[in-house]
Amino acid sequence: MTEATDAMEYDVVVLGAGPVGENVADRTRAAGLSTAIVESELVGGECSYWACMPSKALLRPVIARAEARRVAGLRQAASGPLDVQAVLAHRNEFTSNWKDDGQVGWLTGIGADLYRGHGRLDGKRRVVVTAPDGELRVLNARHAVAVCTGSRALLPELPGLAGANPWTSREATASQSVPGRLVVVGGGVVGVEMATAWRALGSEVTLLVRGTGVLPKMEPFAGELVVEALTEAGATVRTGVSLAAVERTGGTGPVTVVLTDGERIEADEVLFATGRAPRTEDIGMESVGLEPGSWLTVDDSCLVEGSDWLYAVGDVNRRALLTHQGKYQARIAGAAIAARAEDSSVPVSAPWGPYATTADHAAVPQVVFTDPEVGAVGLSLAEAERAGHRVRAVDYEIGNVSGAALYVDGYHGRARMVVDLEREILRGVTFVGPGVGELLHSATIAVAGEVPISRLWHAVPSYPTISEVWLRLLETYRDE
């Protein structure tokens, strides 16, 4: 390690060049603030190379084939297996073969300065970057430092796991070959999506879930329909099971998962999709009085609690571990940084209007790209009731809508809207079924905009489309 060079001065320093950090830099540069961005891996971050993009590239042909098999005239043509090498090559293309030249070019284009290496806070408004060659560079921020370092896979403490070379979401989305047998541990979004993808690509998949079902944060019927489809596709789904150990000699060859009842399950790979942890363990949190490895508590402009200069944007603040929510936060945080840089009288607490991440509280949308798809926004029925709202769930079988029946033969799905009976607005909406991901933004607008039921009647859905389910939900609400 070499001595630090003279400090460079910037208005804003951003730690992490994933989608969140990129969007903070984009907003601050648009406001005329000089901005440095620090990245220890690939510019573009987790989403571009190991999460959203590669996982959806793997899943898209899976879902397209499943839907084609349900359409008269296409069923026979889609009866064969997927071209595995073509699917993997398609995935590789969407990750730019794990090269970030394009993303670096974009950063250069907006006028941000990229520093490659490991960045650590070193006191107030100061960041020290250790470059790959060991050189130290000091970056001082006149106005703000934004921590956008994201999250990493959280592995449980299990005997034998450390030496077993388990898959996490990174290995699951980047593998260049199909494991003959794959055990997936965890019933959240990553677990069910990767079980769907690798089963369709030829793996014998066993999904192990500690709880009573999958997708536990969503409406119960969502998980039930996904399990039904996984089982029909040939995967084995087991709930209410816990692991005692993992065994793998030398970290290669077959891996054995040992359950707490002594049962042993052998596979070629084991994927742990058991949660996320913030990437704050080695970024100098202690130098500013914060705990290394902790989630960072922020206000609605993403300003860290108790600070007037440190922002935490995206996964690290634990509000919503979703790329689109992180980018939303980044746009608002960038605007808040710019406003406070221009006018020091702008309050550092109680942000307002365009500087408040209000959609983080009750209107977070998410799509699960399984077969069937799941789309949900806002509160589930149970969440709304726990929050003290007087609500009613209104359900409708999406397959009874003409547009759905035309979309695929034998369409089976379910829609639910959670109605606040006092205000007559929607607290949450959930769709499960083929193609429902594209319905979700209409629901997000209704929930985020607190559109009254009386006005939703005048949002006329096109016929014949799946979106006609909106009319059927409103009719059911009226008639029950």
Domain that holds residue 208: 169-275
> Based on the domain organization, do 27 and 131 belong to the same domain?
yes
The helix (H) or strand (E) run that includes residue 396 is strand 391-396
The token pair at 129 is 């970057």
Same domain, yes or no, for 269 and 252? Answer: yes
Question: Does some domain include residue 459?
Answer: yes
Q: Is residue 82 part of a domain?
A: no
Helix (H) / strand (E) containing 278: strand 276-278
Q: What are the φ/ψ torsions at residue 93 (nearest 5 degrees)?
A: -65, -40
Same-domain pairing of 264 and 118: no
- 381 within some domain: yes
Residue 364 lies in a domain: no
Q: Are residues 17 and 134 in the same domain?
A: yes
**Within-domain flag for 254:** yes
Which contiguous run of DSSP H or E holds residue 151? Answer: strand 151-153
Rounded Cα–Cα distance for residues 378 and 242 (Å): 30
pLDDT at 5: 63
* Spatial contact of 154 and 25, defined as CB atoms under 8 Å apart: no
Report the distance separating Cα 111 and Cα 35, nearest Å: 8
Domain C-terminal end among 305, 334, 359: 359
Residue carrying structure tokens 């020091």: 344
CATH number at residue 470: 3.30.390.30
Cα atoms found within 13 Å of the Cα of residue 271, Cβ hemisphere only? 32
**95 assigned to some structural domain:** no
Q: Are residues 190 and 104 in the same domain?
A: no
179 domain-assigned: yes
Task: Say whether both 194 and 340 belong to one domain.
Answer: no
Residues 407 and 469 in one domain: yes
CA 252 to centroid of chain Cα atoms: 30
Helix (H, G, I), strand (E, B) or coil at 376: strand
Cα Rg of the chain (Å, integer) = 24
285 and 138 in a common domain:
yes
Which residue bears the tokens 């996904």?
A: 226
Residues 344 and 214 in one domain: no
355 and 322 co-located in one domain: yes
Q: Quick check: is 306 in a domain? A: yes
* Same domain (yes/no): 185, 238: yes
Say if residues 27 and 334 touch (Cβ distance below 8 Å): yes
Last residue of a domain, one of 304, 328, 359: 359
Cα-flanking dihedrals φ and ψ of residue 331, to 5°?
A: -60, -40
Q: Please state, in angstroms and rounded to a whole number, the distance separating the CA atoms of residues 33 and 39.
A: 19
The structural domain count of the chain equals 3
Does the pTM surpass 0.85? The reply is yes
- CATH code, domain carrying 181: 3.50.50.60
Separation of alpha carbons 345 and 173, rounded Å: 47
Given 359, 392, 414, which residue is the final one in a domain?
A: 359
Q: Do 258 and 287 fall within a single domain?
A: no
Reading the chain (480 residues) residue by residue, the pLDDT tens digits are 555 668 999 999 999 999 999 999 999 999 999 999 999 999 999 999 999 999 999 999 999 999 999 999 999 999 999 999 999 999 999 999 999 999 999 999 999 999 999 999 999 999 999 999 999 999 999 999 999 999 999 999 999 999 999 999 999 999 999 999 999 999 999 999 999 999 999 999 999 999 999 999 999 999 999 999 999 999 999 999 999 999 998 888 999 999 999 999 999 999 999 999 999 999 999 999 999 999 999 999 999 999 999 999 999 999 999 999 999 999 999 999 999 999 877 666 556 677 889 899 889 999 999 999 999 999 999 999 999 999 999 999 999 999 999 999 999 999 999 999 999 999 999 999 999 999 999 999 999 999 999 999 999 999 999 999 999 999 999 998
User: Which of 293, 308, 305, 302 minimizes the C-alpha distance to 320?
Assistant: 302
What is the Cα–Cα distance from 429 to 377, expressed in whole angstroms? 6
Tell me if residue 14 falls in helix, strand or coil.
strand
Q: List Cβ neighbours of 57 (8 Å cut-off, separation of 6 or more).
A: 90, 91, 93, 94, 95
CA atoms of 324 and 329, how far apart (whole Å): 9
Q: Read off the tokens for 475.
A: 């009719």
